[in-house]
Structure 1
Amino acid sequence: MTILDQPIARLDGTPTTLGEITGGRPALLVNVASKCGLTPQYAGLEALHEELADAGFTVVGLPCNQFLGQEPGSSEEIQEFCSASYGVTFPMTEKIEVNGEDRHPVYAELVKVPDEEGEAGDVQWNFEKFLVDGTGTVVARFRPGVEPGDPRLQDAVRALVSSAS
């Protein structure tokens, strides 16, 4: 079983799996929050999603309220905020936990993967990014301070998308 097989719900509560959400395409999985200093990264994530969707790539937002309560809203409030404030069209899941005892099974696997400096372990903050291929294998991990437009992230995404096509 891969992370793509793990049950999760869409933001509207519809049960699904990560594989159904991504369609087996390469994806950037991001724990997101609406009231964080990094929230403006939504704009860059949406731009990346729009630019590469036709090439077989998607961004997936996984709302999380574990970091100073920065995602306190209901699913409807999260959807409205993301749509109205940043024009988000990429798929979003239900609110989940990424660290601790109630960590979602998807993140139980993701946190085993080291970042660019070889550090694995807990998600540090909102907007940590995991690049996965169409089979659910994690290709790269980017800490929250790595913006969607960062050349390291952009190069990794483009290399993955080109190798998948």
Structure 2
Amino acid sequence: MAWSTRELAELAGTTVNTIRHYHRLGLLEQPPRRASRFKEYSADDLVCLLHVRRLAERGVPLSQIVALGPHGALTPEVLRQVDAGHLVEIERLQKARSDIAFLLRWETHTASPTHVAEPGDGWKRARHMVPGRQHGSDPSRTPEAILGG
């Protein structure tokens, strides 16, 4: 069975531009061309493309996939590095969610329907209004610290 670039992209659930990008990076070899000058991809090309996509979707950087070769297997070291990167990203997102929850609680207790507080002195004077806000609490947990105000 042979497919054009568009057909291969459809089969793999990706785009023609992604396939071209993978060619430029060396992740997918250039296939032979038909007499009509269209590229002719094989089942091996589809398997390779699906392998690259599966690794990329799991967070393996394309540069590491290139280093593995077209059908390369991941080493435990690479998987641990990817996992560590995911952990850092999860921690960053959890902190962002915590900051957003704090700001939402702040808005509930300080904003009226006609006025939304702006960062600055008003927030500094009203800190005591936030539930659970005690003197000497973590200074990084203020609206101005979170928003950079």
Structure with bigger gyration radius: 2
Q: What band does the TM-score fall into relative to the shorter chain?
A: under 0.3
Say which structure is richer in helix: 2
Higher relative CO (CA 8 A, sep ≥ 6), structure 1 or 2?
A: 1
TM-score when normalising by structure 1: 0.25
